[in-house]
Structure 1
């Protein structure tokens, strides 16, 4: 079994799509842009907020518009109650069991560190993550392996002892770029032919399959 498990946040640990989409649509309504449905947001998630905003704006993705939407969204999201964002069913149990077995836990996401910490403190306060890597302004974000490599160095383990758990093509590419194994979960925001990718060591449908695959890794 691996010594270090690095989890993606959105779509893997937490179901956050509804609140993200709601706050983006509020931003678009205020700014006079078209509002979009959940399916469009699923296809757009994975990058950092600049990349997501650019994809959502499509042919209107000028620098000025991206900054305007980003700033408006961040203000709305920070003040929103985010009542729909919570751990996926069974994921707290997964984290608790791995922690009991002395597996090192970490998070690598394109969501900000402060936002991740807020939800972890609220829903998983007893889980001890060795590191949480969000986007760093001076470094490339996922699928760049900077965050993963930083976590591996801090955990003092090898890449062969590390496993990445995610839900999207971005997560698979992150693991590839870092040179580590990955497991893909199906309850998140994966789209297209992501489940046909041959890189993941396992594709799992529930918490029990996930725990079994981690233990067999």
Structure 2
């Protein structure tokens, strides 16, 4: 058979655990929170918040994102008004535009091999589609489909089910054909609603306090990109 113009043998096609993977962007494919998103938060706090405001640590940032979300945190803890939230958003976008994260070592090779064997790659992230495309363009690679975050249509991204349901329809897939690879709860919530396997990753810096939560939630958890690659490509017997 062919896949994107390349011949793929039946043996190669069968040597992937899932026909499609839905991968998170930040801290799953790209090492971005410690280098971009968290520093953007720190900058806003230093410039706009009262001097006595207690900023989250990097670990606390991940805990907040696991148990809640940034908009709730901004409203209930930071006490930002709608206008202040807009200012924070534009400061974050400006920061994201200036600082580009690196892909985790080995992740590009994993994606290329998964695709070579006939796999379908989707990205579902709370980063915007243009930021995701820009990050991947540095590596001369793009996923088949991107489900990025939109302030106008949040229901089209995780934790809502639209990305997986759309992927199933687009590529004629069943739930068993798909795995969600992520480091935070919104992706896993989406996956569980759709009956899709959850694969956790904790190789990014700052996940220490939520490792247990990830392990309890997911079918498998990996602390190295190599371990994830070996599992998805069925190079191990697990």
Range class of TM-score, shorter chain: 0.7 to 0.9
Deviations 1:83-126 (A, max 9, x none): xx111121111111111211111101111000100101013x1x
Structure 2: how far apart are the matches of 1:205 and 1:107? 20
How many residues are treated as equivalent by the alignment?
209
Change over 3 Å in CA distance of 1:64–1:97 after alignment to 2: same
Q: Give the structure 2 partner of residue 28 of structure 1.
A: 45
Instruction: Compare CA radii of gyration and give the structure with the larger one.
Output: 2
Q: Structure 1 residue 135: deviation in Å? A: 1.8
Q: Give the structure 1 partner of residue 70 of structure 2.
A: 52
Of 148, 160, 173, the match for 1:144:
160
CA contact (8 A) 2:133 2:142 kept: no
Q: Structure 1 residue 74: deviation in Å? A: 2.1
CA contact (8 A) 2:107 2:225 kept: yes
Structure 2: how far apart are the matches of 1:150 and 1:13? 22
Change over 3 Å in CA distance of 1:4–1:108 after alignment to 2: same
Counterpart of 2:144 in 1: which secondary structure? strand
Deviations 1:116-167 (A, max 9, x none): 00101013x1x34210111242342321111222223222222221111111
Q: Structure 1 residue 187: deviation in Å? A: 1.1
Of 121, 128, 149, the match for 2:137:
121
CA RMSD of aligned residues (A): 2.5
Structure 2: how far apart are the matches of 1:157 and 1:166? 20
Q: Give the structure 1 partner of residue 187 of structure 2.
A: 171
TM-score by length of 1: 0.83
Q: Give the structure 1 partner of residue 62 of structure 2.
A: 42
Of 191, 205, 209, the match for 2:223:
205
Change over 3 Å in CA distance of 1:204–1:36 after alignment to 2: closer
CA contact (8 A) 1:6 1:164 kept: yes
